[in-house]
């Protein structure tokens, strides 16, 4: 299994406290093989511009989307604005009725068991939405705790713990309207975790955050698994790559590709390459060297260019970077050329996204 948070070590200070550590949930997420979230041909059409005299125009926001999310994992929906990510989350969280198709969350049908679904869910809507600005952070948590029917003692204990977890203890009694965006996002997360839901929907949780705040929040999200299942929507490639075990690339309301980040990257044929920089220009050796490099079995093509420092740069596109690296270094050195630098470039999720979704990101 892929490391859920490779590249950023989860900070233990962000590990959310369990609602009742000594009292395990009967169907604890990690123990069941049933997927936490299942979407079957979810389809949503919006009618716009209709009134008493006009029928209006039908716009399909989500087109027969199907996926399932194993318990205890982070599943990402990656796509440009308007791709249908938020509409999908709305349908899964009972805020929007699908035009057709079905979905279940924690085993409950989202259309027939709405209240059960809501109890199993924590949703981070993001931005300025979803918090009462004129009351304090702790009052927000207290109110939402009451809306979830939590006992008073639990509300107080969880509020204290979670405010500490998201580093808002010192601002707990201040009105939310004075909070920065990052603080609001952290409070959103605390609110979503308050009733200790097994499943979390995070809709663009880091959008608009400064880099440091975004890193903090990603650490917090990474620390949620395997105790929680997370459905994350984002158009941040780096975030999706770091956090998600599986990603669905959504475009124009359809899932155009789905798999682990590694699987998606593997679909990008041209992304894997070795770049060898030489101190001197290759001049007359260039044709010979590139010809020999092209003869390596795993190499697909080779580009040669001059660098600003007066040397040459060989870009070797290949299927196996390790093999290409060994062979190409041996070949170049064999001509007595001094190597100035080597870079091994694996395809990024961005390469995959651009290849799959056709370059439309915003």
Partner 1 sequence: MSAVARQVSEIGLWWQVVSATSATSFKRMTAYLINVVRIPIFPAGMFLTSYVAWNAAGVEAIDGVNVSGFLLAGMIGLICWSSSVWWSGSAIENERYEGTIAALFLTPASRVAVVIGHGLGGLLYMVPSFAVVGLLGVITGARLNIDSLAAVVLSLLALVASSLAMGFLLASFFILTRRANLMANIIQHPLYLVGGFMVPRDQLPIWLFWLSQAMPIAHAVDAFRASMLSSASLDDVSNALLATLLTSSLFVLIGILGIRKVEHVAKRSGQLDLF
Q: Which helix (DSSP H) or strand (DSSP E) does residue 234 occupy?
A: strand 229-234
Among 4, 73, 86, 185, binds partner 1 (CB under 8 A): 86
Side by side, the strands of the sheet bearing 273-278 are: 299-306, 312-318, 273-278, 339-345
**Interaction pattern, residues 178-207, with partner 1; x per rule: CB under 8 A:** -------------x-----------x----
Among 43, 119, 157, 181, binds partner 1 (CB under 8 A): 119
How far apart CA 259 and CA 174 sit, in angstroms, is 43
Q: Which is nearer to partner 1, 203 or 351 (CB)?
A: 203
Q: Which is nearer to partner 1, 82 or 281 (CB)?
A: 82
25 is a contact residue toward partner 1 (CB under 8 A)? no
Q: Are 219 and 182 in contact (CB under 8 A)?
A: no
154 is a contact residue toward partner 1 (CB under 8 A)? no
94 is a contact residue toward partner 1 (CB under 8 A)? yes
Side by side, the strands of the sheet bearing 108-109 are: 57-69, 37-48, 100-105, 108-109
Q: How many residues does the chain have?
A: 362
Q: Are 159 and 196 in contact (CB under 8 A)?
A: no
Among 10, 17, 130, 226, binds partner 1 (CB under 8 A): 130
Q: Which is nearer to partner 1, 130 or 226 (CB)?
A: 130
149 is a contact residue toward partner 1 (CB under 8 A)? yes
Q: How far apart, in Å, are the Cα atoms of 66 and each of 89, 227, 254?
A: 13, 24, 9
88 is a contact residue toward partner 1 (CB under 8 A)? no
CA nearest to 16, candidates 229, 204, 196, 215:
196
Q: Which is nearer to partner 1, 203 or 327 (CB)?
A: 203
**Interface contacts to partner 1, rule CB under 8 A:** 46-47, 86, 89-90, 93-97, 115, 118-119, 121, 123, 125, 128-135, 139, 142-144, 146-149, 175, 191, 203
């Amino acid at each position: 299994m892929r490391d859920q948070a490779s590249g950023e070590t989860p900070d233990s200070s962000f590990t959310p406290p369990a609602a009742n550590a000594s009292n395990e949930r009967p169907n604890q997420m990690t123990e069941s093989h049933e997927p936490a979230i299942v979407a079957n041909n979810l389809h949503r059409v919006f009618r716009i511009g209709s009134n008493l005299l006009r029928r209006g125009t039908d716009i399909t926001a989500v087109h027969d989307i199907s996926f399932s999310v194993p318990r205890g994992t982070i599943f990402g929906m990656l796509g440009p604005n308007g791709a249908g990510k938020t509409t999908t989350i709305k349908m899964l969280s009972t805020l929007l009725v699908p035009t057709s198709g079905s979905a279940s969350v924690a085993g409950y049908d989202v259309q027939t068991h709405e209240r059960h679904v809501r109890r199993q869910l924590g949703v981070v809507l993001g931005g300025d939405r979803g918090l009462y600005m004129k009351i304090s952070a702790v009052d927000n948590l207290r109110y939402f705790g009451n809306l979830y029917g939590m006992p008073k003692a639990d509300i107080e204990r969880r509020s204290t713990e979670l405010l500490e977890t998201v580093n808002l203890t010192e601002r707990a009694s201040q009105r939310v309207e004075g909070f920065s965006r990052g603080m609001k996002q952290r409070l959103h997360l605390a609110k979503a975790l308050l009733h200790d839901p097994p499943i979390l929907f995070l809709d663009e949780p880091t959008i608009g955050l400064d880099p440091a705040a975004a890193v903090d929040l990603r650490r917090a999200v990474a620390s949620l698994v395997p105790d929680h299942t997370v459905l994350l929507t984002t158009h941040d490639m780096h975030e999706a790559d770091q956090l998600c075990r599986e990603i669905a690339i959504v475009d124009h309301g359809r899932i155009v590709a789905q798999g682990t980040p590694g699987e998606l990257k593997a679909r990008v044929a041209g992304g894997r390459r070795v770049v060898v920089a030489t101190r001197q220009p290759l001049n007359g050796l260039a044709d010979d060297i590139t010809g020999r490099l092209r003869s390596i079995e795993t190499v697909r093509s080779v580009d040669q260019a001059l660098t600003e420092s007066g040397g040459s740069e060989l870009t070797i596109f290949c299927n196996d970077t390790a093999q290409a690296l060994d062979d190409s270094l041996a070949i170049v050195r064999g001509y007595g050329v001094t190597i100035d630098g080597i870079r091994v470039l694996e395809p990024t999720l961005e390469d995959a996204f651009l290849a799959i979704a056709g370059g439309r990101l915003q």
